Structure 1
Amino acid sequence: MEEFLRILTQSAGEILAPTTAAYAMAAIGLNLHFGYTGLLNMGQAGFMLLGAYGFGITLTTGGSFWLALLVAIAAGVLFAIILGMPTLQLRGDYLAIVTISAAEIVRWFGRSTLWQQWTGGASGLQGRFYKEPFQELSFLPDGRFALGPFEYINTGSDSWWTRIVAWGLVALVVLFVWLITRSPWGRVLKGIREDEDAVRALGKNVYAYKLQALVLGGAIGALGGVIFALPAAIVPDSMGRTMTFFVWTILLLGGAATVFGPVLGSMIFFAAYMFMRTGMRALAENTGVGDFITTTNVEQIGGMLVGVTLMLLVIFRPQGIFGNKKELAFNVR
């Protein structure tokens, strides 16, 4: 029973973890791309990595926290413009192929020794080089604080301060998305998603609206990369295809074209994912299934189960837990 309570507490702690907030932010940006506009962006990790690098490199070169935040957003915007201008005429699978290729190019640039003095190469940027300006902004006293079974240091990498900032940013972005998607601009995006030819016939510049959605979603994805970097290091291989895969799972789990779906989807996903991994480790250590499930292959089995979950979602519940199936009339020829 004690072991089960430990696993349950550890899993519940993931609900408010900074990583959960980072993925929620990335899923909100992807929701603008796919959920509201119908753009099949398979490279959201590229926006996150560029945002993280813009943030980390600015701080390591002596910039302020606020300047680093602006640089991170600008990196996402610039990448969206460069990516979107020549490719937004593409539809469906073709756009997906281009975006996932672009994200891989960003990752390999990060790994390259050509830019190693800035990016750290394959080893990335260690957190000690850029976290101090962020932690100096904390108004919390020194020490630790416990809220029920959850106890963390007040200021540091895995701290209450990081959680407050991360989820505060998520709340602001959720409010922003709620406002813009209820506006006439947001209704045009939904029209493009359902039938862009009809929207074009009404005199709207579909290309411009798509580019605007790509830029906004990319900037939000870059903010997700900043949040992801706050409690950890900036390593290019940690923001690759698997990250995009998880972001898509989170979006489809919570529900595309919903305001709170990406946030709730991220919370549910990471709580369940942690419960699954810690549960399998406990089984491997304390029961006879250790011959089949070892502590070394828990991550691989977990990844396979996430893949199965995504397949089942697409087949049986494409609108997600909180979504509306009527919102999925995508025109992605």
Structure 2
Amino acid sequence: MDWANLLTNVAGELFAPTTAALALAAIGLNVHFGLTGLLNMGQAGFMLLGAYGFAITTIAGWPLWASVLAAMASAVVFAVLLGIPTLKLRGDYLAIVTIAAAEIVRIVGRSTALSDVTGASNGLLGNSFKHTFVGASPFPDGRFTLGPFTYALNASNSWWLRIVAWALVLLACLLVWRLMKSPWGRVLKGIREDEDAVRALGKNVFSYKMQSLVIGGVLGALAGVLFVLPRAVQPDSMGRPTTFWVWTILLLGGAATVFGPILGSMLFWGALMLIKGIMRTVVPENVMSVAEIEAFGWILVGIALMLLIIFRPQGILGDKKELAINVR
């Protein structure tokens, strides 16, 4: 086994664009669940809407800044439409509604009636919407090597994308940190612990929940943009499994923490790539095919999520007192 090459690939995943995208999505979910106690099981819906908003407007000829705003606006509209009828629900009921809403977004996206807009199940090719982002790069074309890592400066899986992605993640962490320390954030934590008590103090609980849903949804939409820039917009790539990946990342790192989503995303992808890499080398082809190894890796993700909920719901960095896992 070529351990040096395997470990280099795993280390590369720690700061890959996909790792940053899922960390940003988990930060958005942290606003929903960690701060407010909203059991949102549809974060993938916000990601997919953001990806479509960015890609469709870019293909239509919009500049980069306008396409990013369109992605954010799509998340705001979706959050408002979703929140108005559902934010009075609690616990499992809200979880069911949000996962259904995300599935509606995915199914509409892959509908043949919208083939000219969304590409249906085939999606939108990356080369059709990446040009404005690549054009905004200050770097020349070519490749750059930093230690054992060599990537293109301006391409799908580039240094430029990595810099932008992780800059957005750090800005989102700063935003969450400020929100947690603000009076607004303390109201959200009060809603998470006992919304009836907060309502009795004269606070508009519904309004605060809506604000939380919008902010976390916008972060999810930006995560969706980062998620599709190295690849294509394909609706099935941001379905139910993506939501569970984001939940695993959040719970692994620690909900209601600032850096928990970043740590969780790095550990999640790093461990997953390491396990798959070892199994591809060690397990014979006649015992388990490459496709079966891929599936087995996701089985391990499901098992890890169950074990986290049972034995350490607060995650690595979290405080059990901060986590309202049994939201009523």
> Normalization by structure 2: what TM-score?
0.98
Which residue is equivalent to 2:14? 15
Q: Which residue of 1 aligns with 2:72?
A: 73
Distance across 2 between alignment mates of 1:224 and 1:152: 21
Q: Is 1:62 matched up with 2:68?
A: no
Equivalent residue in structure 2 for 1:323, among 301, 318, 321: 318
Partner Cα separation in structure 2 for residue 331 and residue 244 of structure 1? 19
Determine the structure 1 residue equivalent to 2:169. 170
Amino acid in structure 2 at the alignment position of 1:309: A
Matching residue of 2:226: 227
**Matching residue of 1:28:** 27
Note the C-alpha offset of 1:291: 3.5
Residue of structure 1 equivalent to 2:153: 154
Deviation at 1:331, TM superposition (A): 6.2
| Distance (whole Å) between structure 1 residues aligned to residue 62 and residue 324 of structure 2 | 46
Q: Is the 8 A contact 1:193 1:331 kept in 2?
A: no
Shift of 1:329: 3.6
Tell me the SS of whatever aligns to 2:290: coil
- The amino acid that maps onto 1:114 is A
CA distance in structure 2 between the partners assigned to 1:142 and 1:300 by the alignment: 37
* Cα drift, residue 7 of structure 1: 1.1
Q: Quote how far apart the aligned CAs of 1:253 are.
A: 0.3
Alignment deviations for residues 73-118 of structure 1 (CA, whole Å, 9 cap, x no partner): 0001110000000000000000000000000000000000111111
Residue 247 of structure 1 corresponds to 246
Distance in 1 between residues matched to 2:295 and 2:229, nearest whole Å: 26
2:304 matched to 1:305?
no
Q: Is the 8 A contact 2:251 2:315 kept in 1?
A: yes
Q: Which residue of 2 aligns with 1:200?
A: 199
Amino acid at match of 1:202: L
1:122 maps to 2:117: no
After the TM superposition, which of the residue ranges 91-100 and 320-329 deviates more from structure 2? Answer: 320-329
**Partner amino acid for 2:286?**
D
Counterparts of 1:296 and 1:113 in 2: how far apart (Å)?
Answer: 28
Q: How does 1:82-93 map to 2 (within 5 A)?
A: 82-93=81-92
Deviates more, 1:142-151 or 1:185-194: 142-151
Q: Measured at CA, do residues 329 and 245 of structure 1 come closer, stay the same or move farther in structure 2, by a change above 3 Å?
A: closer
Q: Counterpart of 1:38?
A: 37
The answer to whether the Cα contact below 8 Å between 2:193 and 2:324 also exists between their aligned partners in 1 is yes
2:291 equivalent among 288, 296, 303 = 296
Question: What is the aligned-residue RMSD (CA, Å)?
Answer: 1.0
CA shift, 1:142, in A, is 2.0
Instruction: Report if the CA contact (8 A) 2:313-2:325 is conserved.
Output: no
Letter of the 2:16 partner, please give it.
A
1:226-253 deviation digits (Å, cap 9, x = unpaired):
1001111000000000000100000000
Where does 1:253-292 land on structure 2 (aligned, <5 Å)?
Answer: 253-284=252-283, 289-292=284-287
TM superposition shift of 1:141: 2.0
**Contact (CA 8 Å) 2:144, 2:152: kept in 1 or not?**
yes
Show the counterpart of 2:215: 216
How many Å apart are 1:159 and its aligned residue? 0.6
Contact 1:43–1:102 under 8 Å retained in 2: yes
Q: How far apart, in 2, do the equivalents of 1:78 and 1:181 lie?
A: 25
Residue in 2 that maps onto 1:332: 327
What is the CA–CA distance in structure 1 between the aligned matches of 2:74 and 2:324, rounded to whole Å?
32
What is the alpha-carbon distance in structure 1 between the residues aligned to residue 326 and residue 189 of structure 2? 11
C-alpha deviation, 1:169, in angstroms: 1.0
Corresponding position of 1:134: 133
Rounded to whole Å, the distance in 2 between the matches of 1:290 and 1:230 is 33
Q: Which amino acid aligns with 1:83?
A: L
In structure 2, give the amino acid aligned to 1:34.
Answer: F
8 Å contact kept, 1:195–1:330: no
214-223 or 167-176, which deviates more:
167-176
Task: List, as ranges, runs of 4+ consecutive aligned residues in structure 1 with deviation greater than 4 Å.
Answer: none
Instruction: Write the deviation string for residues 3-22 of structure 1: whole angstroms up to 9, x where unpaired.
Output: 11111111110011000011
Distance apart, 1:171 and its partner CA? 1.2
Q: How far off is 1:330 after superposition?
A: 5.2
Q: Secondary structure of 2:209's partner?
A: helix
Q: What's the counterpart of residue 47 of structure 2?
A: 48
Q: Which secondary structure state, in structure 2, belongs to the residue aligned with residue 179 of structure 1?
A: helix
Query: What amino acid does structure 1 have at the position aligned with 2:309?
Result: V
Letter in 2 for 1:299: E
Distance 1:331 1:253, change over 3 A: closer
Could you tell me how far apart the structure 1 residues matched to 2:285 and 2:62 are?
A: 50
Structure 1 residue 290: Cα displacement: 3.8
SS for the counterpart of 1:297 is helix
Distance (whole Å) between structure 2 residues aligned to residue 127 and residue 330 of structure 1: 38
